């Protein structure tokens, strides 16, 4: 019981600090080149996201 409580407490504490410093963590992660390439590549692999981004960047027909 004590071990389970300690685990829950540690996960909660880590979650709190991750939320509190989320922008610093995000900047540190995105600042790493290979992780940034991996993230952009996976996001651009989604057809809906890629189509919407290309319309926005290259001025395709508006969906508004």
CA angle 34, 25, 52 (to 5 degrees): 60
**Domain-by-domain residue ranges, the chain?**
2-55
Query: Residues 12-49, buried b or exposed e (16+ Cβ, 10 A)?
Result: eeeeeeeeeeeeeeeeeeeeeeeeeeeeeeeeeeeeee
pLDDT band at 61 (very low <50, low <70, confident <90, very high): low
The tens digit of pLDDT for each residue in 35-54 reads 889 888 888 888 888 888 88
The tens digit of pLDDT for each residue in 7-17 reads 999 999 999 99
């Amino acid at each position: 019981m004590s071990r389970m409580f300690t685990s829950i407490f540690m996960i909660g504490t880590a979650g709190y600090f991750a939320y509190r410093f989320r922008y610093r963590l995000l900047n540190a992660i995105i600042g790493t080149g290979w992780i940034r390439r991996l993230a952009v590549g996976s996001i651009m692999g989604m057809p809906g996201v890629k189509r919407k981004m290309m319309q926005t960047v290259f001025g395709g027909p508006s969906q508004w």
